[in-house]
């Protein structure tokens, strides 16, 4: 038929023309995973893409992976999927769901710090990032644990990056950011390092829950492959 019984037939008459092509919207989460080849489909090196985790850092940040879960009648051998509190899970295909967590502030933390520290020129901004990198290098050369985001941070400064509230893992819209450990010796590089480390720390919290979800499915190897992308990484 001509679809005249469909309410949208009358609401949008422009779409009735055969020359009009309508494409349904796709969520940015699943689009990012597909673009990073983390869509749950086979890859050249594996029979399944489920072990590939997409980490996207732009203005915000997120960790996501695709898990097989068919809408068909449940089979006796099919395991339950346990999604830890703090993550989201939604269907992206009749045979797959997307599981992950997101931060409201990712690269936006760096942009905020750049404005706060008046690093308007590219030269001053790059110089600050270089000094922050030196702080990391000095610390990593003397430690095998990677960047320390605890109270003993090598920069002496720590940050909670909830400039716009918290999404994963606590979902507290009223949460606020905090910077501590400032002294007379604190430099812009110390603050920039703390900002970068704080985002890494929050992504680490999300990744811990993501790995719990992956392992609970029972068929995914414990060792995953992180595929990082996003404008903040450029």
What does the pLDDT average to over 81-110?
91
Upper half-sphere CA count for residue 18 (Cβ side, 13 Å): 1
Q: In degrees, to the nearest 5, what angle opens at C-alpha 168 toward C-alphas 164 and 173?
A: 40
Which carries the bigger pLDDT value, residue 146 or residue 132? 132
Q: Does residue 221 have a pLDDT over 60? A: no
Buried b or exposed e, range 98-127, using 16+ CB within 10 angstroms: bbbbbbbbbbbbbebbbeebebeeeeebee
Q: What is the largest CA-CA distance in the chain?
A: 76
What does the pLDDT average to over 89-118?
93
Residue 9 and residue 166: Cα distance in Å, rounded? Answer: 41
pTM metric for this prediction: 0.80
- Residue 32's nearest CA partner among 53, 15, 14 is 53
Residue 7 and residue 155: Cα distance in Å, rounded? Answer: 61
For the stretch 134-153, pLDDT in tens is 998 987 776 555 544 444 57
Question: Could you tell me if 206 and 103 are in contact, meaning their C-beta atoms sit under 8 angstroms apart?
Answer: yes
Q: Does residue 119 have a pLDDT over 70? A: yes
Which carries the bigger pLDDT value, residue 48 or residue 171? 171
Q: Does residue 1 have a pLDDT over 50? A: no
When mean pLDDT is compared across 58-72, 104-118, 161-175, 207-221, the lowest value belongs to: 207-221
Residue 95 and residue 204: Cα distance in Å, rounded? Answer: 28
> CB under 8 Å to 82, separation ≥6 — which residues?
212, 213, 216
Q: How far apart are the first and last CA of the chain?
A: 51
pLDDT given at position 225: 86
Which carries the bigger pLDDT value, residue 138 or residue 46? 138
Question: Could you tell me if 15 and 23 are in contact, meaning their C-beta atoms sit under 8 angstroms apart?
Answer: no
Q: What is the β-pairing status of strands 88-93 and 96-103?
A: antiparallel
DSSP 156-188: S-EEE--BTB--TTT--TT---EEE---TT--H
CA 192 to chain centre: 20
Paired with 208 in beta bridges are none
Paired with 229 in beta bridges are 56
- Residue 220's nearest CA partner among 9, 21, 63, 68 is 68
pLDDT given at position 11: 85
Which carries the bigger pLDDT value, residue 119 or residue 49? 119
């Amino acid at each position: 038929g001509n679809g005249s019984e469909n309410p949208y037939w009358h609401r949008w008459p422009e779409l009735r023309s055969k020359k009009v092509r309508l494409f349904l919207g796709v969520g940015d989460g699943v689009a990012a995973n597909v673009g990073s080849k983390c869509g749950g489909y086979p890859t050249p090196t594996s029979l399944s893409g489920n072990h590939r985790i997409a980490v996207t850092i732009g203005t915000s940040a997120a960790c996501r992976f695709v898990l097989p879960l068919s809408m068909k009648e449940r089979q006796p051998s099919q395991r339950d999927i346990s999604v830890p509190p703090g993550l989201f899970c939604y269907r992206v295909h009749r045979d797959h769901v997307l599981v992950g967590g997101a931060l409201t502030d990712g690269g936006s933390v760096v942009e905020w710090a750049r404005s706060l520290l008046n690093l308007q020129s590219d030269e001053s901004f790059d110089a600050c990032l270089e000094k922050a990198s030196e702080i990391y290098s000095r610390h990593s050369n003397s430690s095998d644990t990677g960047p320390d985001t605890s109270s003993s941070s090598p920069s002496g400064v720590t940050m909670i990056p909830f400039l716009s509230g918290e999404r994963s893992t606590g979902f507290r819209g009223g949460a606020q950011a905090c910077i501590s450990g400032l002294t007379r010796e604190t430099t812009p590089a110390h603050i920039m390092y703390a900002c970068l480390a704080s985002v890494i720390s929050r992504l680490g919290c999300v990744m811990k829950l993501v790995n719990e979800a992956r392992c609970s499915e029972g068929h995914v190897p414990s060792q995953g492959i992180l595929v990082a992308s996003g404008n903040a990484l450029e």
